[in-house]
Chain A
Amino acid sequence: GQNIDQPTEMTATEGAIVQINCTYQTSGFNGLFWYQQHAGEAPTFLSYNVLDGLEEKGRFSSFLSRSKGYSYLLLKELQMKDSASYLCAAMDSNYQLIWGAGTKLIIKP
């Protein structure tokens, strides 16, 4: 079956770096998305990776290894506003999104 695994919750300190991992098993692969969702708000698009490697966007970077079925989201210089849930979603060969349950990130001062 198709499956996404990501940690349920993580805690990090303001100003530090945190890495949120995501492993996926899909029938075919057409890329991997990361979304950020603040409590009570809409998920918002952060990144899309389809080729192996690291994509950097300011304080956020996303990495993909297709051979390992693995991705991570790296957040640097953490700010209190980064407290949110981070959703990983892989797109299968039919362009259907397979979603993880999300990782709740708690930032402490």
Chain B
Amino acid sequence: ETGVTQTPRHLVMGMTNKKSLKCEQHLGHNAMYWYKQSAKKPLELMFVYSLEERVENNSVPSRFSPECPNSSHLFLHLHTLQPEDSALYLCASSQDDGGVSPLHFGNGTRLTVT
């Protein structure tokens, strides 16, 4: 398995659906992240978990709900999304040891809300 794996790769959902995105990291890292990537825009940090505790929630609408059951797994639960939520959702991990370490990203889930 490669470092950070995201499933599904593509997801089409209606505004009334409920779905979940899954992320798994095999790097032994202790921090995990959800980012939103829209075309021609900077990456937007959504949530950060360090040692399974949520440490960042950047004013993300409540229709996005993260879950981190352990240091290797991260979920993003989606419900009653809007068309403007269509984007690439990237998961990343890093080693949070008080220093600076690069992020390792998954290939993302391409989400389309109809």
A50, B100: Cβ atoms closer than 8 Å: yes
Q: Which residues of A contact B66 (CB under 8 A)?
A: none
Q: What is the bound-complex CA distance between A35 and B105, given in angstroms?
A: 10
Given the interface pairs A8-B40, A101-B40, the reply to whether A45 lies near B104 with Cβ below 8 Å is: yes
B41, A42: Cβ atoms closer than 8 Å: no
A43, B90: Cβ atoms closer than 8 Å: yes
Given the interface pairs A40-B107, A42-B107, A97-B45, the reply to whether A48 lies near B100 with Cβ below 8 Å is: yes
B61 within 8 A of A: no
Given the interface pairs A42-B90, A42-B105, A43-B90, the reply to whether A31 lies near B42 with Cβ below 8 Å is: no
Per DSSP, chain B at the interface is: loop
Within 8 A of B (CB), among A31-84: 31, 33, 35, 40-45, 48, 50
A91 within 8 A of B: yes
Whole-angstrom distance between the Cβ of A108 and the nearest chain B Cβ? 21
A99, B42: Cβ atoms closer than 8 Å: yes
Select from chain B the residue with minimum beta-carbon distance to A101: B42
Q: What is the bound-complex CA distance between A102 and B107, given in angstroms?
A: 17
A95, B105: Cβ atoms closer than 8 Å: no
A-B CB contact pairs (8 Å), 16 listed: A4-B42, A33-B102, A35-B103, A40-B107, A42-B90, A42-B105, A43-B90, A45-B103, A48-B100, A89-B43, A91-B100, A100-B42, A101-B40, A101-B42, A102-B40, A102-B42
Select from chain A the residue with minimum beta-carbon distance to B3: A42
B108, A42: Cβ atoms closer than 8 Å: yes
Q: Which residues of B contact A40 (CB under 8 A)?
A: 107
B4 within 8 A of A: yes
Q: Which residues of B contact A45 (CB under 8 A)?
A: 102-104
Q: Which residues of A contact B41 (CB under 8 A)?
A: 101
Select from chain A the residue with minimum beta-carbon distance to B98: A95
Whole-angstrom distance between the Cβ of B6 and the nearest chain A Cβ? 9
